Amino acid sequence: MRKILFAGLAAAALMGGVAVTSTAGAQPTVVVEERYGHWDPAWGAVPPPPLPAWEYWRGEHMHEWYGHVHNCMVRYPKYDPARDMYYEGHKWVSCRDVE
Supply the pLDDT for residue 59: 82
One DSSP character per residue, the chain reads -HHHHHHHHHHHHHHT----B--TTS--B--EEETTEEE-GGG-SPPPPPPTT-HHHHTTTGGGHHHHHHHHHHH-TTEETTTTEEEETTEEEE-----
Q: Is residue 66 part of a domain?
A: yes
Residue 75 lies in a domain: yes
The count of structural domains within the chain is: 1
Q: Which domain holds residue 55?
A: 2-94
pTM, full prediction: 0.62
pLDDT, tens only, 66-84: 999 999 999 999 999 999 9
pLDDT given at position 87: 93
